[in-house]
Homo-oligomer: A and B are copies of this chain.
Amino acid sequence: MTTALPQSVRITDITGRDGFQNVKTWIPTETKKAVLSQLVEAGVTAMEATSFVSPKAIPQMADAAEIVAHMLENHPGVTLVALVPNLKGAQRAAECGVRHIAYIISASVAHNKANINRTHEESLADLAAIAEACPGLEITLSMPTVFGCPFTGEVMLDTVLYLLDESLKRGAAKITLCDTIGVANPVQVKHVVRGVLDRFPGRDIGVHLHDTHGMGLANTFAALEMGIDRFETAAGGLGGCPFAPGAAGNTPTEDTVNMLNRMGVRTGIDLEKYLRAVATVKDGVEAPLPGHLHAARTYAEFSFYTV
């Protein structure tokens, strides 16, 4: 049977954070700025542009302050999100003028430990400390490994719901469910999303789906069918988690927008212009771009078919 999809969706482009963070070779700050500006020119209105983490842990994010300054100066209308792993990161972000942060608590204890070296209790305590110390910050709780953990396999929905509930109590405003290693399947996405929607009605829920096993767009469609209208995607499918073995590319923004266009779901993103940003990434970043559309070249020859 068919289901009505949302008429429009909000893309949070994560090229600057999840895309760049996993690239081993240093990407010059000017290249990063150029890419992010091209994303804005293509119609991106929300982006996770960088991460305030220890430069020792992720050297690629060492220029976070400069990236934020670039965005605030040149693209003040864009909703600028910075990822932070802890109170120190949140404070640095706030000092730089950031107003939206993504704070991460992994659904899997083992991945939370590997990723940010904390127990769930420590992560929740830090979230409360951030909300208290930085009252001007809007906090999105980004939850890795909701659909599976690289270390311990299956993750219980009850654990996800418990952690989300505790996070909302401590000041998180939005929720993003992340398939960090790309092992979610569409049936599971529907099941988990329904569980979260039922528990937190009216809450802003987004998804972050990796394409490791080619299920990125299938899971996107499944989430759409459940009414989800916020998606995190990256140019060319760049990305992966440095602390999750086997994690591969994000779901490509341009492939997502192409599918949405064809289904009559609006994103506000201009595909031709977005592909120029992908070309800049291809030229300026030493990493494979697993996305399909930039390689297929012929997409524009076909009329868009919607029913």
Contact = CB atoms under 8 A, between A and B. Distances in A.
Interface stretch (A75-83, A122-130, A178-186): A178-186
Query: Which interface class (under 10, 10 to 19, 20 to 34, 35 or more) fits A?
Result: 35 or more
A63 interface: no
Given A214-B216, A302-B181, A264 B296 contact: no
B5 A187 contact: yes
A5 B190 CA distance: 13
**Listed residue (A3, A212, A296, A302) with the most chain B CB atoms within 10 angstroms of its CB:** A302
A296 B187 contact: no
A66 interface: no
Contacts of A301: 150, 245-246
A191 B299 contact: no
Interface string A87-124: 00000000000000000000000000000000000000
A297 B186 contact: no
A183 B263 contact: no
A21 interface: no
A297 B185 contact: no
Given A190-B2, A246-B296, A213 B263 contact: no
Contact of A147 (B147, B293, B305): B305
Interface string A267-307: 00000000000000000000000011101111101110111
Contacts of A297: 246
Given A1-B3, A292-B214, A293-B214, A303 B246 contact: no
Contact of A212 (B3, B150, B153, B296): B296
Interface string A234-266: 000000000001101000100100110011100
A49 to B, nearest CB: 25
A228 to B, nearest CB: 13
12 contacts: A1-B225, A150-B301, A154-B303, A181-B298, A182-B296, A187-B306, A188-B263, A188-B306, A214-B255, A245-B298, A245-B301, A246-B298
Listed from nearest, the 5 A-B pairs whose CB atoms lie closest are A246-B298, A153-B303, A214-B292, A185-B262, A217-B218
Given A2-B190, A148-B303, A185-B262, 8 more contacts: A183-B299, A185-B306, A186-B259, A188-B262, A214-B216, A217-B218, A218-B218, A248-B296
